[in-house]
Structure 1
Amino acid sequence: MEFIDGLFQLAQNNFILTFAIGFLAAFSEPFFSPLPIIGIVVTNSILLGFLPGLTASILGSLLGSIILFTLCKKFGNSKLMKKLNNSKVNKVVCWVREQGFVPMTICYACPFIPDVLITIASGVSKKSLQKFLPGLFCGKLIFFSVASYIGNDIVGFITNPLKIVIALSIITIAFILGRKVSNRMELAAEKNLALN
């Protein structure tokens, strides 16, 4: 509890430092996938408020994802990337290569699909930034807005059954869409492998 109080004191005393830490945490997440992005977004929203927290999260995560995408695109044929390749990555690469705006948005909006894998696959498949960026931005905006909304009023959220029902509905829809996209990914990859 003292740690949380300390964070609130830091946020009240130095907004710019808190914003910078929130931005860096979101920026780091695409490179270190074990970091819980939903925890980062909710914490940013609690400490900074809804709009500043959402801004720090989106800017950090977008910049990190774009840099990771660019690195994977540039070094996609390197020995290191070939070592990282496995059947799961290959399936995702085959699927991502074919996809447009809507499936990419769903991938980034759904917390049940590892967006780091989608970013790496997009870079390795040589997807253009113009095709990659809109889906990335819209998907993260949807996901982060919901997480920030919950974090901004966590007490009101817990005590209001309607808000809980809305959030659970969004999570259920995201899960169903995520499963459908994941299944399509696997089917597309299997078809590709069968053709080759």
Structure 2
Amino acid sequence: MLDWLTFDNIENITEQYKLLGPIMGVLLTFFEAFMPFLPLVVIVVANASAYGLFWGFILSWLGTVLGSYAVFLLLRRFGHHKRANFLTQRVQVQKLIKWVDMRGIAPLFALLCFPFTPIVIVNIVAGLSNIKKQYYFLTLFIAKPVMIFSMSYLGSDLRSILSSPVKLIFAVVVLIIVWFAGKAFENHLNKRVERDLRKIEQRKRDSL
């Protein structure tokens, strides 16, 4: 496996991917919002490697924003249908919806900035909350570049990173730190949601 992972093979794959055209770079990131099992990091890195930092970033940014917003609009329109219950009636999702309605869009903005956040959950919560459509689009438009640019930069300098053990180790360490930071923020957010909702329930009981 490692013998196959050579610069020539990587460049051949990049050239073949480039032949698919920039529309494919947009479509892959667009459909990733609907199919979270697709590796967004790999797609964004491939776009940057094939089209360069600027255009690779633009293609990935455009695709992921449009895809996330499309999921948001579909959930806003059909999220309360019975067939969507398997997505929308999860306890954690319902708690986050209530909390977002209380706290506003700032927590979602922070989550969208992390590359390993389960974006599908964020889109579901936003779609079922009372956030206005234009506010969520603006949030996606502003928050997504933070995540996409960091991954695009990695892809645009892929050859240099793979040829330098120091750069490769640094890139891996940064990805690990970002992953742990994202998980720590999610855990912090979940605890805060639980705490705030308990306070609301306690106030309701006290008022009876």
Q: Could you list the per-position Cα deviations for residues 71-126 of structure 1 after superposition, in whole angstroms to 9, with x for gaps in the alignment?
A: 10111221122232211222332333334454222201112320110011100113
| Secondary structure in 1 matching 2:21 | helix
Instruction: Identify the residue that residue 5 of structure 1 maps to in structure 2.
Output: 12
Instruction: Identify the residue that residue 22 of structure 2 maps to in structure 1.
Output: 19
Amino acid at match of 1:93: I
Instruction: Identify the residue that residue 80 of structure 1 maps to in structure 2.
Output: 83
Amino acid at match of 2:25: G
- Give the counterpart of 2:34 among 22, 31, 35: 31
What percentage of aligned pairs have identical amino acids? 27
Report deviation, 1:160. 6.7
- Give the counterpart of 2:131 among 127, 133, 139: 127
- Give the counterpart of 1:59 among 38, 54, 62: 62
1: CA distance, partners of 2:67 / 2:104? 21
2: CA distance, partners of 1:134 / 1:174? 25
CA contact (8 A) 2:117 2:182 kept: no
Amino acid at match of 1:5: N
Q: Could you list the per-position Cα deviations for residues 11-30 of structure 1 after superposition, in whole angstroms to 9, with x for gaps in the alignment?
A: 2xx4xx42111111000001
**TM-score normalised per structure 2:** 0.78
Report deviation, 1:150. 0.5
Report deviation, 1:172. 2.0
Instruction: Identify the residue that residue 192 of structure 2 maps to in structure 1.
Output: 187
Structure 1 residues without counterparts, runs of 5 or longer: none
Report deviation, 1:70. 0.6
CA contact (8 A) 2:14 2:49 kept: no
